[in-house]
Structure formats: C-alpha cells, structure tokens
C-alpha cells in the first residue's frame, strides 16, 4: 500500500449505502486525529463521524494499512548553511460535493 487513499475514493455523503457502527468508526477516527498534521486525508474521513457508511470505513481501514506499511519511512533534514525551504499549496477548487467548498492545505 503506497497511498493513503485510492484516487477514486468518493468522500461525499452517500445515502444509499449501508451504515456502520458509529462507535467503531469514531474510535478509529480518534486514533487518526494525531496524524492530521501529516496528511489531509485523515481529516477527510473525520467529516463523516455522525453518519458513517461502508465506503468511509473502507477509506479509514486503507489509511491504517498504509500507516502500518510505512512505519519505517521518515524525513531527514541535514544541517546545511545553504538550506532553502520551498513551500507549495494545492487546492481542489470546490471539490467538496456536499458544501461546495475548496479543500486546501490543512485548514
């Protein structure tokens, strides 16, 4: 597993899909909250705590599998006088199908 979410994952409100146990879903989400600074995908799945569905639970399980498979990865910053830090921002331009809001950064 080399990505947190599948590119075709639909994280919008789904009425015609089976519901899952809120307690289980919220417990799993609680475990992911500390990672919200690392990845925006963790925040996407938090939006659906009040009415979790099967596809949302599948997305959460994928995040856990990704994390389990990447425990040996990290970032290494070497000391240097010539260090230049570049920042980039990405937005999805109203990709939230429910509220028609853009998602960018970790806001």
Distance in angstroms (rounded) separating the CA atoms of residues 40 and 33: 10
Higher-confidence residue: 1 or 62?
Answer: 62
Please give the Cα distance from 101 to 95 (Å, whole number): 7
**pTM reported for the whole predicted model:** 0.50
Q: Is 55 exposed, middle or buried (0-12, 13-18, 19+ CB in 10 A)?
A: middle
What whole-number distance in Å separates Cα of residue 59 and Cα of residue 65? 10
The model's pLDDT over 17-72, given as tens digits with 9 standing for 90+, comes to 888 888 888 888 877 776 665 666 667 777 778 888 888 888 888 888 888 888 88
Higher pLDDT, 103 or 71: 71
Query: How far are the Cα atoms of 97, 98, 104, 106 from residue 101, in angstroms, in the given order?
Result: 8, 8, 10, 14
Which pLDDT value is given to residue 80?
Answer: 79
Hey, what are 36's tokens? 């919200």
pLDDT at 91: 64
Q: What is the pLDDT, as a whole number, of residue 75?
A: 73
pLDDT, residue 95, reads: 65
């Amino acid at each position: 597993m080399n990505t947190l979410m599948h590119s075709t994952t639909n994280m919008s409100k789904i009425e015609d899909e089976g519901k899952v146990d809120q307690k289980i879903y919220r417990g799993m989400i609680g475990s992911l909250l500390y990672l919200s600074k690392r990845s925006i995908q963790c925040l996407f799945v938090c939006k659906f705590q009040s009415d979790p569905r099967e596809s949302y639970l599948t997305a959460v399980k994928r995040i856990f599998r990704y994390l389990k498979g990447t425990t040996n990865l990290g970032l290494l910053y070497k000391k240097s006088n010539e260090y230049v830090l570049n920042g980039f921002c990405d937005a999805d331009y109203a990709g939230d199908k429910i509220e028609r809001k853009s998602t960018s950064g970790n806001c």
